Amino acid sequence: MQKNKNIILGVTASIAAYKACEIIRRLQDENYSVSVVMTQEAKQLIGPALFANLSGSKVYCGLFDEPQQWEIEHVSLAQKAGLILIAPATANIIGKISSGICDDLLTCITCATSAPVLICPAMNEGMYKNKIVQDNIKKLKALGYKFVEPKVGRLGSGKVGIGCLADVEIIVKEAKKIL
């Protein structure tokens, strides 16, 4: 049986969004097809054109954007995915997924998929250590969601602490392991 090598890469509004570019390249080097889904907030940090150029395909952003062909995009993307990889994942997206909130394209795809979901948090140390965020992560892990934990490093604030997106090599290795 052939493995599904289609990865939906969810990009959220973390300063680490630029690292998603390298994730795309590394996954493509391993012969995976990558479709990027950006939150509206992520577009404030990095443009969809960059991801379209790197991935070689349309970047999906809005829940109600005009589809290229008639289809319910969040359902069709959820069905074609072999893996949903959210990197970087903010506290916001983790909280929404944990609560079943589907108010953007990425959360709708995540809710509608039967594919495994790999979440790679990246946020301020205070946010990452927040008891609510940690409870959301524990809840998602108990439901079968996989995580690549953040590392200690220089955060967006300039301070050093836990919350940096894990190394790209580790993220790609975990994605490959799941697929």
Higher pLDDT, 51 or 70: 51
Mean pLDDT in residue range 38-48: 95
Mean pLDDT in residue range 13-29: 97
110 within domain boundaries:
yes
158 within domain boundaries:
yes
Q: d(Cα 116, Cα 176) in Å, to the nearest integer?
A: 12
Query: Which residue, 171, 3, 6, 17, is CA-closest to 77?
Result: 6
102 within domain boundaries:
yes
Give me the CATH number covering residue 137: 3.40.50.1950
Q: d(Cα 80, Cα 139) in Å, to the nearest integer?
A: 26
Q: d(Cα 137, Cα 142) in Å, to the nearest integer?
A: 9
Q: Is 124 left (phi over 0), alpha (psi -120 to 50) or beta?
A: beta
pLDDT bracket for residue 70 (50, 70, 90)? very low
1 within domain boundaries:
no
pLDDT tens-digit readout, 122-163: 999 999 999 999 999 999 999 999 999 999 999 988 999 999
100 within domain boundaries:
yes
Domain boundaries, position 41:
6-178
Q: d(Cα 5, Cα 107) in Å, to the nearest integer?
A: 21
Two tokens, residue 94: 């983790």
Q: What is the pLDDT of residue 68?
A: 53
Count of other CB atoms within 10 angstroms of residue 58: 15
Instruction: Say how many domains are in the chain.
Output: 1
33 within domain boundaries:
yes
